[in-house]
Structure 1
Amino acid sequence: MKTLRATLWASALILPLAAPAAWAETPDDILVVAQNIDDIVAIDPAQAYEFTSGELVTNIYDRLIQYDAEDPTVLAPGLATEWTADEAGKSIAFTLRDGVAFHSGNPVRAEDVVGSFARVVKLNLTPAFILTQLGWTPENVEQMVTADGNTVTVRWDGDFSSAFVLNVLASRPASVVDMATVMEHEENGDMGNAWLNANSAGSGPFSLQTFRPAELVRLQANPDYFKGAPKVEGVILQHVAESATQQLLLEQGDVDMAKNLTPDQIATLDPQAIKVETYPQAAVHFLSFNQKVEALTNPAVWEAARYLVDYQGMTDSFLKGQMEIHQAFWPKGFPGSLDDNPYSYDPERAKQILADAGVETPIDVTLDVINSTPFTDMAQSLQASFAEAGINFEIVPGTGSQVITKYRDRSHEAMLLYWGPDFMDPHSNAKAFAYNEDNSDEAYQATTTWRNAWAVPDELNQETLAALAEPDQATREEMYRDLQAKVQESSPIIIMFQASYQVAMAADVSGYVNGATSDFVYYRLVDKQ
């Protein structure tokens, strides 16, 4: 413990702050966080695809438009103050904010936006697909994104609404980097990738001061940030893999925040000294039936299943703090979500639905599940509750890769799994849960519909495409709510829960914002009183 405390304080001392040599508590102007950060592979926005790297990119870089700390459910101006969409011409013109500088002191220019987007497309690393779906290629990207003075014009090729394009441009790989600084560090044609995976070149509320993989991240506040300087002068993310150690550090005052405590640990915390905040996350958890299994194709089975899940029982016990009831495919907390939960555990009603439809029971079906908590506990709960209506699950546990491989092969019968969007636009999940125009085995699609061999009704397919192209934002959101209601009512995919994330922090910490994904973690408003 002494070694870890020394590491934390030594890290803090390197910050350019006037501070004493030791503290009984964490410094007033530094937020110290205990967190498992060994998932980081890359921190270059053109490559970063891990959970922790997402929060680093969000706090270091800006985008033309972005979801921000004040309200992470609202798409707000970022480096652009205003924009004008031309739906017919498939373009959006952005006016850049005056007077914004990168951490290097270089001004943010329209050319930096063009260069940043082109860099992602040309490097073609993991998150590049989010931008290339707009029809951008290494050959055409500098014609599709152009600069003229302080105006950037973005064009796309496809039947997309400007609302969809805006959400694409608010995603992680659309972060704007200081191209002059980055290209000064280019090696062997890597466009600065190696350097940017150890350094930063952004304009955001924090700059990267130190990055030691699987050990430490230290962020320094940007006092000239265009939305106002952060309330703390620095943030330290200290790698602490063991949740028990995180708890001890928090209780002793060695850290201000612990991000990876278990529900059992959280239940033991002193509420007078430590508070726990719960944040809904984007992942939705579902039970699905493969439509290649004849006994699972009757819509009455799908309907009955919705009344055989003990939603409340699970969230009140072993899922407490980890999940909340949510029965629609787009997560709560973002525009277009449907937050109605019309189903509850009612085995008698389920039995009546099956009987009225002439469904013969018992139905014996295998249920594939990832062999770890809480998934095995969820499977056992489903096994018990579904048996009430004569649907008997044989639980088949496997590793995550085994279960997902089986799912992709469409060789399962029933599946317990989860799904998260690649970026925060409802089409990302609508395509997964409400669209499948080609159900043939040869037409592989990374969607829950195809993987469950569900030939989606043409009405839903057409509505999904129409919502993607709808230019009016309010109308578009209503179309997605309608799609969710239809899938909620009749589909072999029974959506049950939305994940939640609990963060424990000292009672004097306020202003921390944690949205539905790691890309929506914000430290700018954090204060320690």
Structure 2
Amino acid sequence: MKKVAALATLLTLTTALAAAPKDTLVYQSSSDIPTMDPGVTYDTASGAVVENIYETLLTYSGSSLTKLEPLLATKWAISNGGKTYTFDLRKGVKFHSGNAFTCADAEYTFERNLVTNSAESGNWFLAESLLGAGANAADDKTITWARIDKAVECNNAGQLVFTLPGVDPAFLAKLAFVGQSVVDSKYAASIGEWNGKEATWKDWIGKDLSNSKLSQAPSGTGAYKLVRKDANTVLATAFDGYWGKKPAIKNVIFQKVSELAARQQAFLRGDADLIDGGGRAVDEEQIKGKSGVNWVDNLPNTTASAFFMNENIKNTALLGSGKLDGKGIPATFFKDANVRRAFSYAFNYEQYIQDVQKGKGKQRTMLLPDLFPGYDGKINTYTFDKAKAEAFFKRAYGGQLWKNGFTLTSNYRAGSVGAQTAMEILKRNVESLNPKFKINIQAKQWSEMLKDSKDGKEAMTILAWAPDYADPDNFMYTFYSSNGYYFPRSAWKDSQVDKWLDQARNTVNTAERNRLYSLVGKKAYEQAPYILIPAPVNYNFARDTLTGVSASNYNPMISFITGTFWKELGKK
């Protein structure tokens, strides 16, 4: 009780921006923590906490995106032609509740994720691997308890066994995703979560776990355990019973501080060790080079961003007249590949790199991070070329587009300077080609834009993708497959591309997968379904009293701002 009282006092002091103690890490974030239940963790803010309270079977080795190492597992074997995975589990591990970690907890975790699976939870890609379908039992009536129970089991030796319906070259990478962290099954049942039994599984199908009892009071095996959480603050402390190396930092405090200026002031005073910045242009001016600041630059970037050109716009409000008469566009405006190519040549990529990324950007050949397997740097890219843009516009719709003109309404994320600037660059260049070309750009709330884009109601917008697991499938299938997550936003379909992507999913031959992804990239260049936005070069910064923040320790698959787990940080 004395420890809890002391921590509560520390929380009060730090909320008032007292200087961060040497044994405490203070991080000021621009957002809150939506959930602490691994089963529904699908955002980086939640992941930054969950990945330190809970643990997965596997994790990434150092800064590598391709090498995995055991965490709660100790080793694994693959058999049955790549369809059976058998894991030995670590002994002597305890949950924060005091319960011992056993195979039953791991089995419960993955069955729970399959039962509660929804598109918003991130368990859809686990379901694809284990059940052969990304839906839950409510949406796919072929999914039964028997199929779920068979997919993951504990054998008589206490080993965890996954049985897949087909090979999945990305399966191990999926197990390193924070949403697959192992849950304390006995504790979960005791506080009113699913009991793991067949008799009750139907009551939990697709259930939203965002504010579950496990989210409110988590119990993991991680190096840190939750002490307290309210609307604006999370306090965690080192777990005395942790099976691994004892963390150097005793307490971690997350504070939600909405105002950038307030975060900057706290950081420069030393009241916060880490903060969410304001983007490269702002941070280089306000933070870089200041006393007490450790600035780490040229870090890898694993996101991909693009203009989506929707070939089936399901929103008449954005179509104007709905015709190629200069006063609007038809719903299938972007279905003509010449239109898409013209727009791709009309975007000034180098200007975007200079204006938005301050020269720290890279134009990629495909919507796949260049450090991922399967990336082909030899594929052609579009460049800003007004003559080529004009030529393709003149070819579009048999010359009618150039003759009559068009009016397009395009939305961007409200508050995103980068998205607004990109839209303005494209608008200016397209409109300069023909006085009959008109692009209206307008800001839209992010939640509304996400919903409308999912429903195919955005004509042209900018969206990005950050990886759930470090495998090219997570990008290539997402963007380019007609069965991919982003298909409703673009409605672009190519049967040959679909075939290549399915083939890549069904082989474990790396060279063959790379060949197939290269073919997809080349076809995408020819068809121009997206305008690829240059990728920024990542950076971070911290107080120089915080150790462990460096390029060598940085792994972009870790959600926390430093690209490291809390247990790997220290203070001097």
> What TM-score do the two structures reach when normalised by structure 1?
0.82
Following the alignment from structure 1 to structure 2, what is the Cα–Cα distance between the partners of residues 69 and 218? 26
Aligned residues of 2:81 and 2:167 also touching (Cα < 8 A): no
Aligned residues of 1:281 and 1:516 also touching (Cα < 8 A): no
Unaligned runs of 5+ in 2: 1-5, 132-142, 196-202, 313-329
CA-CA distance at 1:371 after TM superposition: 5.0
| Residue-by-residue CA offset, 1:208-252 (whole Å, 9 max, x unaligned) | 23222x222122234665553333223211221211110010011
Following the alignment from structure 1 to structure 2, what is the Cα–Cα distance between the partners of residues 471 and 280? 26
Give the secondary structure class of the aligned counterpart of 1:429: helix
Of residues 468, 485, 490 in structure 1, which corresponds to 2:505?
468
CA pair 24-299 structure 1, distance change in 2 beyond 3 A: closer
Query: Could you tell me which amino acid in structure 2 is paired with residue 186 of structure 1?
Result: G
> Which residue is 1:518 aligned to?
559
Following the alignment from structure 2 to structure 1, what is the Cα–Cα distance between the partners of residues 433 and 555? 40
Which one has the bigger helix percentage? 2
> Which residue is 2:385 aligned to?
347
Give the secondary structure class of the aligned counterpart of 1:518: coil
Aligned residues of 1:307 and 1:343 also touching (Cα < 8 A): no
Q: Which moved more, 1:515-524 or 1:189-198?
A: 189-198
CA pair 82-354 structure 1, distance change in 2 beyond 3 A: same
Matched, 1:151 2:181: no
Which one has the bigger strand percentage? 1
CA-CA distance at 1:75 after TM superposition: 2.8
Q: Percent identity?
A: 23
CA pair 316-74 structure 1, distance change in 2 beyond 3 A: farther
| Residue-by-residue CA offset, 1:410-434 (whole Å, 9 max, x unaligned) | 4554433334455444323322322
Within-5 A mapping of 1:348-497: 348=386, 350-351=388-389, 354=392, 360=399, 361=402, 363-372=405-414, 373-374=416-417, 375-390=419-434, 392-397=437-442, 398-404=444-450, 406-410=452-456, 412-436=458-482, 447-456=485-494, 458-497=495-534
Matched, 1:239 2:256: yes
Following the alignment from structure 1 to structure 2, what is the Cα–Cα distance between the partners of residues 83 and 474? 23
Following the alignment from structure 2 to structure 1, what is the Cα–Cα distance between the partners of residues 339 and 187? 59
Following the alignment from structure 1 to structure 2, what is the Cα–Cα distance between the partners of residues 95 and 473? 26
| Residue-by-residue CA offset, 1:450-491 (whole Å, 9 max, x unaligned) | 5433231x3211110010111234543453344234323433
CA-CA distance at 1:265 after TM superposition: 3.7
Query: Could you tell me which amino acid in structure 1 is paired with residue 305 of structure 2?
Result: H
CA pair 302-8 structure 1, distance change in 2 beyond 3 A: farther
Q: How many residues align?
A: 504
CA-CA distance at 1:50 after TM superposition: 3.4
CA pair 117-460 structure 1, distance change in 2 beyond 3 A: same
CA pair 264-29 structure 1, distance change in 2 beyond 3 A: same
Of residues 37, 45, 56 in structure 2, which corresponds to 1:44?
37
CA-CA distance at 1:175 after TM superposition: 0.9
Matched, 1:75 2:68: yes
CA-CA distance at 1:349 after TM superposition: 5.4
Following the alignment from structure 1 to structure 2, what is the Cα–Cα distance between the partners of residues 405 and 201? 33
Q: Which moved more, 1:282-291 or 1:338-347?
A: 338-347
CA pair 235-507 structure 1, distance change in 2 beyond 3 A: same
Within-5 A mapping of 1:172-187: 172-186=178-192
Following the alignment from structure 2 to structure 1, what is the Cα–Cα distance between the partners of residues 557 and 258? 22
Aligned residues of 2:374 and 2:472 also touching (Cα < 8 A): yes
CA pair 496-7 structure 1, distance change in 2 beyond 3 A: same
Following the alignment from structure 1 to structure 2, what is the Cα–Cα distance between the partners of residues 510 and 478? 41
Q: Which moved more, 1:185-194 or 1:117-126?
A: 185-194
CA pair 29-52 structure 1, distance change in 2 beyond 3 A: same
CA pair 521-323 structure 1, distance change in 2 beyond 3 A: farther
> Which residue is 1:18 aligned to?
none
> Which residue is 2:294 aligned to?
275
Following the alignment from structure 2 to structure 1, what is the Cα–Cα distance between the partners of residues 447 and 236? 35
> Which residue is 1:53 aligned to?
46
Following the alignment from structure 2 to structure 1, what is the Cα–Cα distance between the partners of residues 490 and 193? 46
CA pair 44-88 structure 1, distance change in 2 beyond 3 A: same
CA pair 452-89 structure 1, distance change in 2 beyond 3 A: closer
Unaligned runs of 5+ in 1: 1-5, 15-21, 437-444
Matched, 1:34 2:41: no
Give the secondary structure class of the aligned counterpart of 1:316: helix
Following the alignment from structure 2 to structure 1, what is the Cα–Cα distance between the partners of residues 27 and 336? 51
CA pair 403-316 structure 1, distance change in 2 beyond 3 A: same
Within-5 A mapping of 1:68-217: 69-71=62-64, 74-86=67-79, 88=81, 90-124=83-117, 126-127=120-121, 128-133=123-128, 134-135=130-131, 137-148=144-155, 149-157=157-165, 159-161=166-168, 163-186=169-192, 194-212=212-230, 214-217=231-234
> What TM-score do the two structures reach when normalised by structure 2?
0.76
Following the alignment from structure 2 to structure 1, what is the Cα–Cα distance between the partners of residues 242 and 387? 57
CA-CA distance at 1:380 after TM superposition: 0.7
Give the secondary structure class of the aligned counterpart of 1:326: coil
Following the alignment from structure 2 to structure 1, what is the Cα–Cα distance between the partners of residues 409 and 379? 24
Of residues 284, 296, 318 in structure 1, which corresponds to 2:356?
318
Following the alignment from structure 2 to structure 1, what is the Cα–Cα distance between the partners of residues 478 and 364? 17
CA pair 473-71 structure 1, distance change in 2 beyond 3 A: same
Aligned residues of 2:342 and 2:393 also touching (Cα < 8 A): no
